[in-house]
Amino acid sequence: MSTDLFTFGEALSVFISTDTESVMSANNYQRVTAGAEANVAVAVSRLGLKAQFFSRFGTDQLGSVMIKDIESEGVDVSLIKRVSAFSAAMVRNPGRTEPVEISYLRKGSAASTIEPSDILDSYISSARWVHTTGITCAISKTGADTVKVALDKARALGVKSSFDLNLRRKLWSESEAKVVLEPLASNVELLIGGEDEYQAIFGFSDVKKVLADANIRGCKIAVMTKGDQILRYSINGEYGEITPPKVISVDPVGSGDAFTGGTIAGLLSGLSPEKALTQGSICGASVASMFGDWTGIPRGKAGVVDPEVLNKLRSSP
């Protein structure tokens, strides 16, 4: 069966304190499902395209409910494997008035056992786009090997791909990440990273140069994000900037993945790279304006955001 997007990685049950701004004093929590690659798959699905997500989950109840959550968003979960290990989790405060503080429960998780043999050629060849991130590289050596294999397969099979640096400093050091992520950030259709991530992995003093260098390494579209600030990009050596929509930020967690999903969906729909990036910024802003990784992900058809979403954001303060 063909699909528009194939992606893989670790999904987590996220427990967010609801009665106080600190996990240290909280007694009540809300559970939601999240994870960078799953978030991107949900975004692409909500925009009216077919998305397929692979991971390994434990045979526990958290694994079962997360698979159900992802499937309820229209994402194909038929390739998922269940293994004898625990499903990953995250505990955090809501971050409304205090900075977001995260505790991970993922070392040795089911998803950390993902290995290259999990990704069959048919998974790649049946997709129009393959998306990977640095988070999968961080959770285990086999995860990093799997990302490399998936990107290599995509290139060999002529399938477009993207790589999000997604540096998670709670999972590994910047020096460890640089060794693994720098060589992977080449020969992809779309390279995404925050300003601090580009700095950590590549080191730079000139934004235009580091983005142009990414183009030279075969990344057709290289994007540097900075939250709600100006988004900078280079497309085949042509530099540009986009100002994201201004919204009242309620919860920025997940907005980067929404940006990625919105951009990929736009490119798959036939939008120009500039318009796809603009759509991505709209999706990211929409998520940041609401609480939760998925809540604000907009709906659309054939990969394009519904016009009413645009009108709503235009009328925002």
Q: Each residue of 42-89: pLDDT tens digit? A: 999 999 999 999 999 999 999 999 999 999 999 999 999 999 999 999
Long-range contacts of 141-148 (CB under 8 A, 24+ apart): 142/112, 142/113, 142/114, 142/115, 142/116, 143/10, 143/111, 143/112, 143/114, 144/180, 145/115, 145/116, 146/8, 146/114, 146/115, 146/116, 146/118, 146/119, 147/184, 148/184
The pLDDT, as a whole number, for residue 213 is: 97
Q: What percent of the chain has pLDDT over 70?
A: 97
Q: Report the pLDDT averaged over residues 152-166.
A: 98
Cα gap 57→240, rounded to integer Å: 41
Is the torsion defined by CA of 61, 35, 270, 150 positive or negative?
negative
Cα gap 235→288, rounded to integer Å: 26
The pLDDT, as a whole number, for residue 315 is: 59
Q: Is pLDDT larger for residue 244 or for residue 174?
A: 174
36-54+111-314 has which fold? Answer: UDP-N-acetylmuramoyl-L-alanine:D-glutamate ligase (3.40.1190)
Tell me the CA end-to-end span of the chain in Å, nearest whole number.
44
Confidence check: pLDDT of 236 > 90: yes
Where exactly are the structural domains of the chain? 36-54+111-314
